[in-house]
Amino acid sequence: MGRLRAKDRREQLLDTAALLFAQRGYARSTTAELAKAAGVTEPIIYRHFESKKDLFIALVERTATRTLELWAQRLADAKDAAERLRRLLGDNPMTLEETREPYLVMMQAITEVDDREIRKAVTSHFADLHGFLVKELRRAQAERRVLSRFSAEIIAWTLIHIGLGYGMLGALGVDGQGEDQAGHTVRELIERLLIGGEPGR
CATH no. for residue 180? 1.10.357.10
pLDDT above 80 (res 67) = yes
Q: What total of structural domains would you count in the chain?
A: 2
DSSP H/E element including 60 = helix 52-75
Q: Are residues 17 and 98 in the same domain?
A: no
pLDDT above 70 (res 199) = no
Least confident of 9-18, 132-141, 150-159, 167-176: 167-176
Interatomic CA distance for residues 174 and 38, integer angstroms: 33
pLDDT above 80 (res 2) = no
| CA proximity to 190, closest of 149, 153, 160 | 160
Q: Are residues 30 and 85 in the same domain?
A: no
Q: Are residues 45 and 61 in the same domain?
A: no
Q: Are residues 118 and 182 in the same domain?
A: yes
For residue 150, what is the DSSP state? Answer: S
pLDDT above 50 (res 200) = no
| CA proximity to 14, closest of 66, 45, 59 | 59
DSSP H/E element including 162 = helix 152-171
Residue 201 lies in a domain: no
Q: Are residues 83 and 32 in the same domain?
A: no
Q: Is residue 200 within 8 Å of 86, Cβ to Cβ?
A: yes
Domain harbouring 8, CATH code: 1.10.10.60
Question: Residue 31, Cβ neighbours under 10 Å: how many?
Answer: 17
For residue 93, what is the DSSP state? Answer: T
Strand partners, 179: 185
At residue 179, the 3 state secondary structure works out as strand
> For position 166, what pLDDT does the model report?
86
pLDDT digits (tens, 9 = 90+) for 84-135: 999 998 888 888 887 888 888 888 777 777 889 998 999 999 999 999 999 9
pLDDT above 50 (res 28) = yes
Domain extent at residue 83: 53-194
Q: Are residues 20 and 42 in the same domain?
A: yes
Residue 133 lies in a domain: yes
Q: Are residues 108 and 40 in the same domain?
A: no
Q: Are residues 130 and 85 in the same domain?
A: yes
Interatomic CA distance for residues 195 and 127, integer angstroms: 23
Q: Is residue 120 within 8 Å of 126, Cβ to Cβ?
A: no
pLDDT above 50 (res 1) = no
Task: Give the pTM.
Answer: 0.86
Interatomic CA distance for residues 168 and 94, integer angstroms: 8
Q: Are residues 89 and 124 in the same domain?
A: yes
Interatomic CA distance for residues 101 and 93, integer angstroms: 9
Q: Are residues 22 and 96 in the same domain?
A: no
